[in-house]
Structure 1
Amino acid sequence: MIKEILKKVIKTEFRIKIRRNIFELKGLLHKGNKFYCICCNQSFNKFLSFGNEKREDAQCPSCGSLERTRLLNYYLINETDIFFDNKSILHFAPESMLSKSLKKSSNKYLSVDIQKGYADKIEDIQNLTFEDCAYDYIICSCVLGHIPDEKKAIDELYRVLKIGAKAYILTVINLNVYETLEDSSAISDEQRLKLFGEKDLLRLHGTDFIERLKRSKVSVKQIDYSLNFSLHDRRRFSFGNKERELIFEIEKIKQD
């Protein structure tokens, strides 16, 4: 209840700034050498637990990055040219430290979110205002599970992606089932929390997620980038359990 009151009386931008300052203080308390965060380039004696069902050592105590963001950041640095040549980048629901790095690398970077105060611009992923073939890169991490019309959102992502350009999409996946779980009767926070594991999820993707991404105009590749690291490094960097960290690389291909 206190959190809801604070949301109403304190502007989003100010709440985000307060949260970042709190994290910086936590980071000072947890300095050490057991864990390393690629997003803020600092080492700690522990990462913080996070999630409705608490995941141990999930969140960086200084920058607040989660497992999926750290792994994606490693991938983008090592496997792409996104940080070079002033690429046009569209970033949905931006993770703060990744957003900060990308913004430094390109003056054609734009972050977007459905809510005011969380990004550079308000946009509805289901009905984007951008021209066709506008962006070299798109980053969309853990967004599609929250969108009412997922198919339309995916089509919009592909519409604004340039020919030969790439999008990186991540989502929460139940790796034990194939078919994505959806239930339109789950309308309350409590129902969605019980069914999907998060109160604002509208679906819990299964391993069929790659099929849901496929279209005639794109190629889709599933990447488990954690396999490029030793077990020791996976633990030290805290790359998660693959339920949120599989990267789906989409490349828009030229139509005949």
Structure 2
Amino acid sequence: MKSPFQVLLNLFPRPFLIQISLLLRPLLVFAYKGKTYKDPIDGKTFSKFLPYGYEKQRPNVLSPSTLSLERHRLLWLYLQQTDFFTLPQKVLHFAPEQAFYKRFKNLKNLEYITTDLNSPIADVKADICDLPFQTNSFDTIICNHVLEHIKDDEKAMKELYRILKPGGMAILQIPQDLSRAATFEDDSIVDQKERAKIFGQYDHLRIYGRDFFDKLRSIGFDVEEVDLTSELRDSEIDYYRLAKGEIIPVCFKHA
């Protein structure tokens, strides 16, 4: 039997659910108050996090305050180890997440631009495969769980490489199954329920395997496969509710 959270995720469009969750957030923060787990993005602690997932629901992963998931908290912790919060830079953020949007926008060191084809909060409405930005435009690109939605992901990667400045950094997180050597795709599966069952979400086009990193390298990126969780104790991984072993693809363009 599906939980109420799964029913909501499958019944209503994501933008609507985001708006509702923002209204309910103060109640969630109060209902889940405690000291067991911590969201590093805002520093708040809770007795537990909420479950999340379209098909296979993951328990205790959705922060009541920032609405962040494991990947968001992992990225935040990684960025804290870089000069992202201090060095003046021009940043392009695809499909900006609520957990980051206002925080990044308020950083005085960033010239912060957001883009997406559909997001109501994106500054620039654009197709990731045909971006309206000049070559060598951005110091940093953040593209978190977008490429799995794109039919021609190789073309999208080439566009990301084109607009990144030499010496710039692109963080290109994706859903990953590192037990797979090769990325799995099957366009013959058209039923949304079946796609959700196989790919984890009805609008995902593939499950990325270990070859994802080499595909980025073939585009021209220098790729660092960052396993931040390997630097943390198990107790810390649990405290922040991270996915142990998740790799952050940190990509650089030759200077």
Does TM-score exceed 0.5, indicating one fold?
Answer: yes
**CA contact 1:180–1:203 (8 Å) conserved in 2:** yes
Q: Which of 102-111 and 139-148 deviates more?
A: 102-111
Segments of structure 2 that go 5 or more residues without pairing to the other structure are 1-6
- Cα distance per residue 1:145-174 (max 9 Å; x no partner): 110100000000010000001001111112
Correspondence list, 1:1-256, <5 A: 16-51=18-53, 52-78=55-81, 80-105=82-107, 106-215=109-218, 217-242=220-245, 245-254=246-255
TM-score (norm 1): 0.89
Q: How far off its partner does 1:200 sit?
A: 0.7
Amino acid at match of 1:26: L
Question: Tell me, what secondary structure is at the counterpart of 1:97?
Answer: coil
Question: Tell me, what secondary structure is at the counterpart of 1:74?
Answer: helix
Amino acid at match of 2:64: P
**CA contact 2:9–2:17 (8 Å) conserved in 1:** no
Question: Tell me, what secondary structure is at the counterpart of 1:165?
Answer: strand
**CA contact 1:40–1:97 (8 Å) conserved in 2:** no
- Cα distance per residue 1:52-108 (max 9 Å; x no partner): 211121110122100000010010012x11112331001111121222221111451
Structure 1 residue runs of 4+, over 3 Å off? 1-7, 14-18
How many residues of Structure 1 are paired with residues of Structure 2 in the alignment? 247
Question: Tell me, what secondary structure is at the counterpart of 2:38?
Answer: strand
TM-score (norm 2): 0.90
**CA contact 2:168–2:252 (8 Å) conserved in 1:** yes
Question: Tell me, what secondary structure is at the counterpart of 2:222?
Answer: strand
**CA contact 2:91–2:110 (8 Å) conserved in 1:** no
Structure 2 CA distance, aligned partners of 1:152 and 1:216? 9
